[in-house]
A = this chain, B = another copy of it.
Amino acid sequence: MRDPAPAPDPSSRSHAGRTEPARVRCSNCGILSRCLPASLNPEQLRVFEESMQRNRLLGAGDHLFRTGDPFHALYAVQSGCLKSYMVDAEGREHVLAFHFVGEIIGVDAIYPERHVSSCVGLAEQNNVCVIPYRTLTRLMQEMPALQAEIMRMMSRYVLTSTAIAGDFSAEERLAAFLVMAAARLRRPGGWSGELNLAMSRQDIANFLRLAPETVSRILARLHKSGLIKADRKRITLVDPEGLGEIAACINPYTRHRP
């Protein structure tokens, strides 16, 4: 999330601004291995790059799109962290998903052809690659590897959606959230056990359909149990196994790997 961005394009260093950064070269991107075009060969990768629009750089609170916006493109998170949310008729906010580095945003808008949720940046800098949908579908025709990756990606999306949707206790859901976040933030290189969450307690609560007070209380309880260390947004998984046991029910990420 707010970790040192993995080999960002130099031009994106024109930070602070909505001044559009230059188009990113996937071949130089530090997160290529975890992104959509991971399995493309060099020539395909070049074609894929060519079809991307300029990246968008969002500060904390900047919107990528809002409910009702027409759907034109999917987005890949190059750095940062974003949340998709809806506000219902009663004014309650529902967080549908958090989007970490390497993940794809916007699949829920394909069918309705416009965005049903809003998407906002959480980290201080959020760099997203813009993948025009029309182009993407064309490329899928030519690149079986890309098509396969997209199908996997959407399948994974369904898995994660159904995971938290289940009938689990507050503690189980929060534990699962932490384990999932850890799995999704983990770099191939290894991992210290320390999370740096970009989202607020309120966001976590709205995602897990809990009150923010409940999130605090459970985090405190897990802390006292010695399973985690919770200091504001810096959360350390002291006993991942123990956490995983609590979250045993859920967690597609730990259960099934191809």
Contacts and interface: CB of A to CB of B under 8 A. Distances in A.
Contacts of A110: 151-152, 154-155
A155 B107 contact: yes
Interface stretch (A43-51, A121-129, A161-169): A161-169
Nearest to A150: B151
Given A111-B156, A137-B144, A144-B141, A209 B167 contact: yes
Contact of A116 (B153, B157, B256): B256
Contacts of A159: 108, 111-112, 116
Nearest to A92: B167
A240 to B, nearest CB: 17
A157 B158 CA distance: 7
A109 interface: yes
| Protomer copies | 2
Contact of A167 (B94, B156, B166, B167): B94
Nearest to A142: B141
A64 to B, nearest CB: 17
B249 A89 contact: yes
A13 interface: no
B162 A108 contact: yes
A248 B90 CA distance: 9
Contacts of A255: 112, 116
A22 interface: no
Given A111-B159, A137-B148, 17 more contacts: A88-B249, A89-B249, A97-B162, A110-B151, A112-B159, A112-B257, A116-B255, A137-B151, A140-B140, A140-B147, A141-B144, A154-B154, A158-B161, A161-B161, A161-B165, A167-B206, A167-B210
Interface of A: 86, 88-90, 92, 94, 96-97, 107-114, 116, 137, 140-141, 144, 147-148, 150-159, 161-162, 164-167, 206, 209-210, 248-250, 252, 255-258
